[in-house]
Amino acid sequence: MTTASWLDLPADSLFGIHNLPYGVFTTPDDPRPRIGVAVGEQVLNVAAVANTVGVDPELTDLLDATTLNPLLGAGRPVWTQVRALLTEWLTDPAFRSAVEPELTPRQDVSLHLPFQVGDYVDFYASEHHAANLGRLFRPGSEPLTPNWKHLPIGYHGRSGTVVVSGTPVVRPQGQRKAPADAVPNFGPSRRLDIEAEVGFVVGAPTELGDSVPLDGFADHVFGVCLVNDWSARDIQAWEYVPLGPFLGKSFATSVSPWVVPLEALRQARVAPPARDVEPLPYLDDRDAKEPWGLDLSLEVRLNGTVVSRPPFAAMYWTAAQQLTHMTVNGASVRPGDLFASGTVSGPDRGTEGALIELTWNGERPVALPDGTTRSFLEDGDEVTITATAPGPDGSVIGFGEVSGRVLPARG
Amino acid sequence: MTTASWLDLPADSLFGIHNLPYGVFTTPDDPRPRIGVAVGEQVLNVAAVANTVGVDPELTDLLDATTLNPLLGAGRPVWTQVRALLTEWLTDPAFRSAVEPELTPRQDVSLHLPFQVGDYVDFYASEHHAANLGRLFRPGSEPLTPNWKHLPIGYHGRSGTVVVSGTPVVRPQGQRKAPADAVPNFGPSRRLDIEAEVGFVVGAPTELGDSVPLDGFADHVFGVCLVNDWSARDIQAWEYVPLGPFLGKSFATSVSPWVVPLEALRQARVAPPARDVEPLPYLDDRDAKEPWGLDLSLEVRLNGTVVSRPPFAAMYWTAAQQLTHMTVNGASVRPGDLFASGTVSGPDRGTEGALIELTWNGERPVALPDGTTRSFLEDGDEVTITATAPGPDGSVIGFGEVSGRVLPARG
């Protein structure tokens, strides 16, 4: 693509013409939530432009909404059509007079949860993360459980506590029991952690009883966002056997406000790591023409300091395998379903996506420029996760950020 | 209460004047979903009566809806007010002319999922069930995990696959691995099971960061339904370590179409079993004036034959403790959230709420009158769960049923 925008965006813009992520915004003048597309330093009110230039009324209806859900449910052909329209508006100077009045500086808008979340599923797809957690949670056992390389392990999280970036996170209280304690005690989590993840937003639904094959991924997944799956390690460690994490996770999951369309990630697609256990046929992507490994580079900042750079390309299981596995039993998906990759941790120090790994359970605390150190999060700490991916023509696709500050536990 | 209805209901009606459960129905003449209340053998169109007799327009708006969610969100004082209205309409002959035209025989209506499910959480509150499953899934270990008597263990299920009674259940496919197998294989579940449970429907929401104390239960929970949490034991056994059940459960969860209001269960309240481990203060119900044990008697029918009679009064953890625990970390609840008790199993043979316990992993199959036996479910099998509770004046409160038939796996 050699498209250039009449907006005259800098070549290194993370929200350039090849990105065009979707969100939902309000302005001080107009508190009605509406769909926006980020371009450069501005946000485009897409329904307003659609109304001005006159497009298919069915398309306008999808865009003139308070959440992305109607658009999500419309499916791949419509997503392609809308993206083509956006590109035309932003590149053909004939549309400049219609588009320009509908641009608002990004700094002047408030961003909201861009879609109503249906089911939220969290996977566990980084071999490095799963092995690290296995060593920390189950010392003396094999780090990976026997099923790990046969299926993408996942579980359902709480969709009602998915919040948009910027929402403060109240330190959770709960039951904690250190190995030396005879009985559990109750109080604020002492081991509040993050999980830097990548989230996949489901668009087109399926019927109960059907499943999505590996090559159906792009028909059903609309786009990608960033996720911080806040985790209270002490609560989680005590509660999670035998039915999995619950209160250690359910107090908050933060997502970035911009959903990057799958089309923007064409140049980011890479082969996933070699499959050293033969996958069952429904999960076998070794001969896939278009593997769904994605070369996203994440950064985790703690109070402004970069503490980790997790590489998404190192994830063992792809999002396509996750969607196929999640539906192979006939479970249906809905517009607004969100599934996250699990913590993105690479093989090297400084690439871990959670503090428990980065600080090795507090044994090697992270030093911050103010002279303090962190094993886990303290009240007032702010965590920000960003990511970029390669785009066409040397451009870079940005994901914006998912950020949150820790508030003290309520008394 | 000595109220009598001008409807002249039989004294043993399970949907008598003291019950008045809520659902959503359509008729062949009018496919618009609307709120109905079951009374005797009929269903009352409550919005139609509200419009005819003229009540507070805000109340009419809550009742003139396609799901129970607006009413659920209105909170306890409104629920009480609506119930008083219903009771007045059905007992004061002055309302007969307004009410009678809005009654439809139950056999002539179709019943729908009565509320849009927010988050679905499944607990694990029967000591007998948890111990049985521990023996079967983790032979050689302590049957109960160390945390079991300290907290009500639960996990999030898939809300998008909660279906109303009568919806067929397609046999799920997935990965199964018998202990003797070196690697997993793929195919239809060979160990399809049920879990007879009781579900609690959340009404009034909370804010993120807040929690619901034990004595806030009735302010937030609207009513009670029956749940069949279909389970594929072979899929579950292979996948559930370390993050809990996922595809072994997510293919379908069936609920009864009638939500019995909490007020109808006043006579069913009983003390839960003795707490032989001292609960932490936030869960301590030993001195509660109004404990939330509930004396519900369940029956499980397989192809019409009663195979089990699980006693809900034997559950160790109450629904009030479950709601308090679920929110103690600050997780918010929404109108339409559903949490289920976990399998209801009593201490005696013939009171187990799942086939895996009832047949002890197939070692003692259930004999059916047609001469066949069952270890797990076969294609074409129909499972129906019913329940009753004691009501005032010797009446019996019925829950209707949750029923489903197994369809063969899709090829």
CATH number of the domain at A22-112, out of 2.30.30.230, 3.40.190.170, 1.10.10.10, 3.90.1150.10?
2.30.30.230
Q: Which residues of B touch A332 (CB under 8 A)?
A: 160-161
Which candidate from A153, A167, A332 shows the least CB-CB separation from B161?
A332
3-state secondary structure of A201: strand
Residue type, A33: P
Which candidate from A124, A138, A158 shows the least CB-CB separation from B331?
A158
Strands B221-228 and B253-255: antiparallel
Which candidate from A174, A210, A326 shows the least CB-CB separation from B329?
A174
C-alpha of A188 from chain center: 27
A251 to B150: CB separation less than 8 angstroms, yes or no? no
pLDDT tens, A198-245? Answer: 999 999 999 999 999 999 999 999 999 999 999 999 999 999 999 999
Which candidate from A160, A177, A209 shows the least CB-CB separation from B332?
A160
Non-local CB neighbours of A65 within 8 Å, separated by 6+ positions = A34, A35, A47, A71
One-character DSSP codes across A235-291:
HHHHH-TTT--STTTTT-EEE-S-BEEGGGGGGGEEPPSP-SSPPPGGG--TT-SS-
Burial of A29 (0-12, 13-18, 19+ CB in 10 A): exposed
A331 to B282: CB separation less than 8 angstroms, yes or no? no
B381 is in an annotated binding site: no
Q: Which residues of A touch B118 (CB under 8 A)?
A: 159-160
Please check whether the domain covering B120-407 is classified as CATH 3.90.850.10: yes
Work out the angle at residue B283's Cα, subtended by the Cα atoms of residues B279 and B288, and round it to the nearest 5 degrees. 100
Which is catalytic among the residues A18, A112, A128, A129?
A: A129
pLDDT surpasses 90 at B67: yes
pLDDT surpasses 80 at A398: yes
pLDDT tens, B132-176? Answer: 999 998 889 999 999 999 999 999 999 999 999 999 999 999 999
Tokens 């009985």 locate to A183
Both tokens assigned to B153: 């263990």
Q: How many beta-carbon pairs under 8 angstroms link A with B?
A: 199
Both tokens assigned to A19: 């990105």
pLDDT surpasses 50 at A385: yes
User: CA–CA distance from A242 to each of A148, A358, B144, B339 (Å)?
Assistant: 17, 26, 10, 18
pLDDT mean over B373-389:
98
Taking the CA of residue B246 and the nearest CA in chain A, the distance in Å comes to 5
A245 to B245: CB separation less than 8 angstroms, yes or no? no
- Comparing alpha-carbon positions, the chain B residue that sits nearest to A336 is B160
ipTM score = 0.97
The whole-number pLDDT of residue A4 equals: 86
Domain ranges of chain A: 22-112, 120-407
How far apart CA A257 and CA A110 sit, in angstroms, is: 10
3-state secondary structure of A71: helix
pLDDT surpasses 90 at B390: yes
pLDDT tens, A399-410? Answer: 999 999 999 999
How far apart CA B204 and CA B185 sit, in angstroms, is: 45
How confident is residue B1, by pLDDT bands cut at 50, 70 and 90?
very low
Residues β-bridged to residue A384: A301, A403
B250 to A124: CB separation less than 8 angstroms, yes or no? no
Give which of B190, B246, B322 to mutate to test A binding, by max A Cβ within 10 Å: B246
Both tokens assigned to B400: 């209707």
N residues, chain B: 411
pLDDT surpasses 70 at B5: yes
Kindly state the helix (H) or strand (E) to which residue A58 belongs, with its residue range.
helix A57-63
A150 to B246: CB separation less than 8 angstroms, yes or no? no
Taking the CA of residue B250 and the nearest CA in chain A, the distance in Å comes to 6
How far apart CA B125 and CA B218 sit, in angstroms, is: 19
Residue type, B126: S
Kindly state the helix (H) or strand (E) to which residue A390 belongs, with its residue range.
strand A382-390
Mean pLDDT across chain B: 96
Residues β-bridged to residue A155: A122
How far apart CA B76 and CA B218 sit, in angstroms, is: 7
Residue B226 C-beta-side C-alpha neighbours within 13 Å:
32
The whole-number pLDDT of residue B137 equals: 84
Mean pLDDT across chain A: 96
User: Which of A11, A84, A29, A89 is closest to A263 using CA atoms?
Assistant: A84
Is B129 an active-site residue? Answer: yes
Residue type, B62: L
Both tokens assigned to A267: 């140049």
pLDDT surpasses 70 at A262: yes
Contact indicator for B277, B317 with CB cutoff of 8 Å = no
Count other Cβ atoms within 10 Å, centred on residue A32.
7
3-state secondary structure of A300: strand
A244 to B239: CB separation less than 8 angstroms, yes or no? no
CA torsion, points A235, A237, A239, A245, in degrees to nearest 10? 90
pLDDT tens, B202-219? Answer: 999 999 999 999 999 999
Non-local CB neighbours of A3 within 8 Å, separated by 6+ positions = A17, A18, A87, A91
Taking each helix axis from N to C end, the angle separating B76-91 and B46-53, rounded to the nearest 10 degrees, works out to: 80
Count other Cβ atoms within 10 Å, centred on residue A94.
12
pLDDT tens, B98-138? Answer: 999 999 999 999 999 999 999 999 999 999 999 999 999 88
User: Which of B145, B157, B123 is closest to B318 using CA atoms?
Assistant: B123
Taking the CA of residue B113 and the nearest CA in chain A, the distance in Å comes to 15
The whole-number pLDDT of residue B350 equals: 97
Q: What SS3 string covers chain B? A: CCCCCCCCCCCCCCCCCCCCCEEEEEECCEEEEEEEEEECCEEEEHHHHHHHHCCCHHHHHHHCCCCCHHHHHHCHHHHHHHHHHHHHHHHCHHHHHHHHHHEEEHHHCEEECCCCCCCEEEECCCHHHHHHHHHHHCCCCCCCCCCCCCCCCEEEECHHHEEECCCCEECCEEEECCCCCCCCEEEECCCEECCEEEEEEECCCCCCCCCCCHHHHHHHEEEEEEEECCEEHHHHHHHCCCCCCCCCCCCCEEECCCEEEHHHHHHHEECCCCCCCCCCHHHCCCCCCCCCEECCEEEEEECCEEEECCEHHHCCCCHHHHHHHHHCCCCCCCCCCEEECCCCCCCCCCCCCCHHHHCCCCCCCEECCCCCEECCCCCCCEEEEEEEEECHHHCEEEEEEEEEEEECCCC
Non-local CB neighbours of A196 within 8 Å, separated by 6+ positions = A226, A227, A228, A298, A300, A308, A310, A343, A344, A353, A354, A385
B135 is in an annotated binding site: no
Taking each helix axis from N to C end, the angle separating A46-53 and A76-91, rounded to the nearest 10 degrees, works out to: 80
Non-local CB neighbours of B242 within 8 Å, separated by 6+ positions = A134, A137, A138, A145, A153, A240, A241, A244
Q: Which residues of B touch A161 (CB under 8 A)?
A: 208, 331-332
How far apart CA A298 and CA A351 sit, in angstroms, is: 9
CA torsion sign for B193, B199, B205, B209 is negative
Q: What are residue A296's phi and psi, to 5 degrees?
A: -95, 140
B151 to A244: CB separation less than 8 angstroms, yes or no? no
CA torsion, points B383, B384, B385, B386, in degrees to nearest 10? -170
3-state secondary structure of A196: strand
In Å, the largest CA–CA distance within chain B is: 74
A247 to B329: CB separation less than 8 angstroms, yes or no? yes
Which is catalytic among the residues B18, B129, B220, B325?
A: B129
The whole-number pLDDT of residue B2 equals: 47
B215 is in an annotated binding site: no
Contact indicator for A307, A283 with CB cutoff of 8 Å = no
Instruction: Flag the least confident range among A134-148, A344-358, B396-410.
Output: A134-148
Contact indicator for A116, A336 with CB cutoff of 8 Å = yes
Strands B169-170 and B338-340: unpaired
User: CA–CA distance from B187 to each of A337, A402, B179, B229, B397 (Å)?
Assistant: 26, 40, 16, 21, 42
N residues, chain A: 411
Both tokens assigned to B342: 């976990």
3-state secondary structure of A163: strand
How far apart CA A13 and CA A10 sit, in angstroms, is: 5
Both tokens assigned to A279: 């996958």
DSSP category for residue A165: T
Whether the link from the prior residue into B242 is cis, omega within 30° of 0, is: yes
Strands B253-255 and B162-164: parallel
Tokens 């990105």 locate to A19
